[in-house]
Structure 1
Amino acid sequence: MSPTREEIEAGQAVYTQKLLAVYDLLVLGLSNRFIWRCPTPRLLAHYDRHVSGNHLDVGVGTGYFLDRCRFPAERPRVALMDMNPNALDHAARRIARYAPETYRRNVLAEIGVDGAPFDSVGVNYLLHCLPGDMTSTARAFDYLRPLMKPGAVVFGSTLLPGGVARGWAARRLMAFYNAKGVFSNETDDLETLTRELTARFHDVSIEVVGCGALFSGRL
C-alpha cells in the first residue's frame, strides 16, 4: 500500500525554520560524526565526485552540500526539490548565487518540472525519511528517472539499521526518530538497498560508512 500524502508530509514537517537554523550543528556536526559514524566531510566528498553542472537535489536539507561542493561548471544549473517550503526557502537563499530553480513536489508520485532533464540527481539522507519500507520508498527512483538524461547519475546516502554496524547510541536515536515519525527505516537494510538500485540503474556502487550507505548508479 502506497503511503498517503499526509504520511509523507509528517516525515518532513519536523524541518521548521528553528530546526533548520541548528541542523548543520546538530546533524552534520554532531550526529554524523559521533552517532552515525558517517562524517559530513565524507558525504561532501561523495557530492564532489558525482555532482554535475546540471543538477537536481531532492530532499535539500539546509543546502549545506550544494553550498560547499565543487561544481564542474562556473555557472551550474541547480534545481531544488522538497515537500517542505521551509527547507526549499532556506536552501535557495543559501545558494542564491546559483539562482536555483525550486520545486515543491512529492517524490512518491509522478513529478513534473520545467526545463530539460538533469545530468545528476542527489538524494542525500532522503530515503530513511520517506514513509514505508524500502521497497516502497525506492519507488522514488521510478519517479525521478524521467527527470534524468540517459547516462545521468543518481547519488546520495541513507541511514540503515540492517547490514551495517550500529553502536548503542545509533540504535537508540534511530528508534527514537522512528517512533516520532521523523525516520521510517526500521526494516531497511543493505541487501534491499542494493537490490532496488541494481533493478533500476547500472554501474551501481554502495559504500558503507558507519550507519550510512553512500550509493550511486547510472541511468
Structure 2
Amino acid sequence: MSVIQRTASTAVSWCTPFFMPFYDILIHRVTVPLVWRCSTQNNLRPLFSYNFSKRHVDIGVGTGYFPRRAIKDTGRDPKDQHQTLVDLSEYALTTARRRVLSKCPEAQVDCVHADAVLPLPESLKGQKFTSASLFLVIHHMSQPTASKANAIANAQSLLTKDGVLVGCTVLGKQWEKTGHGYKVTSGEPLGRAAALLLGYCNRRRAFDNWQDDPNVLVEALNAGFEEVETSVVAMMFVFKASKPRSEG
C-alpha cells in the first residue's frame, strides 16, 4: 500500500493552481532544452505530432501542451479529432482539457482519472486507440523501473493492431546506447544544473528516477511490440514502439 500512496503523491505533487500556469515556460523553454538538453521543439514535439492519430490516448497530460499543438501540426480538422487524457491529477486533467478546447473547441476530449501503472479503470476497458503517448511522466513515478514499465503494458493494451506508442522520460544518470543495450557513462547528471534540479526534485519526491534503467523500459517495449526504436538525447530517454504483439 505504501508504494501506491507514494506513487500518487509524487505524480501529482506539482499539479497545483500555483505551478500549472508556469509549467509550459519552465518545462518546455527552460528545463527540457537547457537542463536536460533535449529540445522540445526539435526532438519531442515532432515525435508526438508525427505519431498523433485521429484517436489518441495521452497518459500523463501535464497541461495538454503536446496534444493541443499536435492538432495544429497535423493540419487536421478538429472535428475529426478524438483524444482521451489519462492522469492521476484531476487538476491536470481539467487544465489540459480546457487548454485543448480553447484552441480546438470542436475536438472531442475525454478525461480519465487513473494511475498509469495500476490496472486500467472500467471506463478504459474495451476502448481502442490508434496512438498513445507517455510523455514526461515515467520519471515522476515512485517505483522501481520494472513497476513503472506497467505503464507501457497498459498503454499497449489500449492500442489497435496497427497502433503506435511514443514517449520520453528524464533519466537520473548519463546513459549511452551500445550494441548490447544501454550503459551508464557517468553516475552524475549532465552538468551542474541537471545535478541540482534532479537532487531537488528527488528530495521533494516530485521525481523518483535516480535508479531508472532504460534497459528495463526497452525490455518492456520489446515484450509488447514488434517494432521498437529508442535513443538517449542527453538526459532524456526517447522511444517509439509500433505493431503491438497480440496476447497469447
Do both proteins adopt the same fold according to a TM-score greater than 0.5, normalized to the shorter chain? yes
Shift of 1:145: 2.6
Tell me whether 1:40 sits opposite 2:40 in the alignment: yes
Question: Could you state the TM-score of these two structures normalised by the residue count of structure 2?
Answer: 0.82
Match of 2:224 in 1: 200
Equivalent residue runs for 1:11-160 within 5 Å: 11=10, 12-41=12-41, 42-69=43-70, 70-71=73-74, 73-74=76-77, 75-96=80-101, 97=105, 98-111=107-120, 112-113=122-123, 116-160=127-171
Unmatched segments (≥5 aa) in structure 1: none
Deviations 1:37-70 (A, max 9, x none): 0111021011122111110001000111111113
- Native 8 Å contact 2:116 2:154 kept in 1: yes
Q: 1:179-205: per-residue Cα shift (whole Å, max 9, x none)?
A: 111011110133232222222222111
Amino acid of the structure 2 residue aligned with 1:78: Q
- How far residue 174 of structure 1 moved from its aligned partner, in angstroms, is 1.0
Gap change, CA 1:52 and 1:183, over 3 Å in 2: same
Return the letter of the residue paired with 1:81.
V
Cα deviation per residue 1:62-92 (whole Å; 9 max; x = unaligned)?
1111111134742211110101011000100
| Count of aligned residue pairs for this structure pair | 218
Provide the C-alpha distance between the structure 1 equivalents of 2:143 and 2:18, rounded to a whole number of angstroms.
27
Alpha-carbon distance in structure 2 between the residues aligned to 1:176 and 1:95:
31
C-alpha contact 2:155 2:165 (8 A) present in aligned 1: no
Tell me the CA shift for residue 2 of structure 1.
8.3
Give percent identity, aligned residues only: 27
| 1:178 maps to which of 199, 202, 206 | 202
Q: TM-score, normalised by structure 1?
A: 0.92
SS class of match (1:131): coil
Would the aligned equivalents of 2:50 and 2:74 in 1 still touch at CA under 8 Å?
A: no
Partners of 2:117 and 2:150 within 8 A in 1 = yes
Task: Work out which of the two has the higher radius of gyration on C-alpha atoms and give 1 or 2.
Answer: 2
Task: Please tell me the residue identity of whatever aligns with 1:37.
Answer: R
* Alpha carbons 1:46, 1:214 under 8 Å: kept: no
Residues in 1 aligned to 2:157 and 2:89: alpha-carbon distance in whole angstroms:
22
Q: Once structures 1 and 2 are overlaid, which stretch shifts more, 32-41 or 195-204? A: 195-204
Q: Matched residues in 2 for 1:2 and 1:179: separation?
A: 17
Residue 159 of structure 2 aligns with an amino acid whose one-letter code is M
How far apart, in 2, do the equivalents of 1:45 and 1:181 lie?
30
Deviations 1:73-116 (A, max 9, x none): 42211110101011000100011121301100111211133573
What are the ranges of 5 or more consecutive residues in structure 2 without an aligned counterpart? 177-188
> Aligned partners of 2:220 and 2:196: how far apart in 1?
27
How much does 1:17 deviate? 1.6
